[in-house]
A = this chain, B = another copy of it.
Amino acid sequence: MSDIAPSLGDLPTPCLVLDRSKMDRNLTRMLKRAETLGVRLRPHCKTAKSAEVARLALGGEVGPITVSTMREAQYFAENGFSDITLAVGISPSRLGQAADLLARGVDLTVITDNAVIAGEIVAAGKARGVTFAVMIEVDVGEHRAGIDAHAPELLEIAAIVAEGGQELRGILAHGGHTYGCRTPEAVAEIAEQERAGAVLAAERLRQAGHACPVVSVGSTPGALFARSLDGVTEMRPGVYMFMDLFQSGVGCCGLEDIAVTVMASITNLRPEQGTAIIDAGALALSKDRSTQALPRDCDFGLLTDAFGRPLPGLTVEAVHQEHGRIGGAGADPAVLPIGSRVHVLPNHVCMTAAMYDRYAVVDGLERGPNQPVVAFWERVNGW
């Protein structure tokens, strides 16, 4: 590979490819949605895990973001982001690192849903001489984490935080059960549950004398199909930046909006079996099978040729650690000569992208192996 202006054909496979043109459309769409809904966009960076992508998601500048791990928080802080919400219930084992970020001037918000950890936050704040900004996670029906908006514990946690000298910043909800919806109408119903639950919890805090300036909701389907976010101050979608087969199946996008693919090479072809082998398997694609629950099961991913043209009827039907087997009813993999390249559209891009430490960025795939790589953007994985 030449050091200057490589093209896709120069890159060894498997390789994570990001089509900036498609991503830009996805980013613009969500910026407009936030404007229409009258809320601040605090994009969730758990999918992209990239400072370059986060800046573009905010219209080209640093701004408020959401992260899912402490390592992401540290990475984005190092890259100039100073307003960060860690939207996964904080583990006591991470309070020291959180305090370090606060001491460096990063406005990091942590969340919890129980009095035990609220007490640990207070203790750590006092011990480290910092003031934690804390949001209380409310369960709006997904039953993953969070407390019910009506629960007595809501005020108990708020009191522990406030009386412990920490800053109670507000309410956070995640209507992740939108992922179980199959129509925009059903998503809109859940988005309304999410809004109503978050606003109710915020009102309860305010009635108890707390300020509660932030009311935060978020999922990509909810952000796209919510009818109103009255009373909400911000939303935190993430996967919309890249989209994937699952989001397409739920109706959030078309296949042509999926901005991230795994480029792979055909290493074997068995025309008599109707199968081919690619050098992208369980690690390169992830074992995510979320589309199994959708009307169109995409196995381990759909395919395009090297130029981004769909290969209808073909899927990655099985994976081993470093092998993917292409097959499909009625399809002839003999259109895929050994040594040629394909792109795999991921079921769940958050899982797939997490296997790579960088993106090869392109503006479209129309030139196939001759498509120039305009940049390499790093990702931050792990914890």
Contact = CB atoms under 8 A, between A and B. Distances in A.
Interface string A285-306: 0111100000000000000000
Given A277-B89, A283-B351, A338 B116 contact: yes
A19 to B, nearest CB: 20
B267 A91 contact: yes
Interface stretch (A92-100, A184-192, A209-217): A92-100
Nearest to A268: B145
A273 B143 contact: yes
A326 to B, nearest CB: 12
A355 B356 contact: no
Given A46-B321, A176-B320, A282 B351 contact: yes
A363 B383 CA distance: 23
A12 B94 contact: yes
Contacts of A382: 355-357
Contacts of A288: 282, 287
Contacts of A273: 143
A113 interface: yes
Nearest to A383: B14
Given A93-B11, A286-B287, A383-B284, A117 B356 contact: no
Contacts of A68: 321-322
B11 A339 contact: no
B325 A117 contact: no
A69 interface: yes
A13 interface: yes
Interface string A117-145: 10010000000000000000000000111
A155 interface: no
A349 to B, nearest CB: 11
B144 A12 contact: no
Q: Which 8 A-B pairs have the closest CB atoms?
A: A116-B338, A91-B265, A89-B267, A12-B93, A91-B279, A88-B322, A287-B287, A92-B339
23 contacts: A12-B70, A12-B94, A12-B96, A13-B91, A13-B383, A46-B321, A89-B277, A91-B265, A93-B265, A114-B338, A116-B338, A144-B277, A144-B320, A145-B267, A145-B268, A145-B277, A282-B288, A284-B383, A286-B287, A287-B287, A287-B351, A321-B350, A357-B382
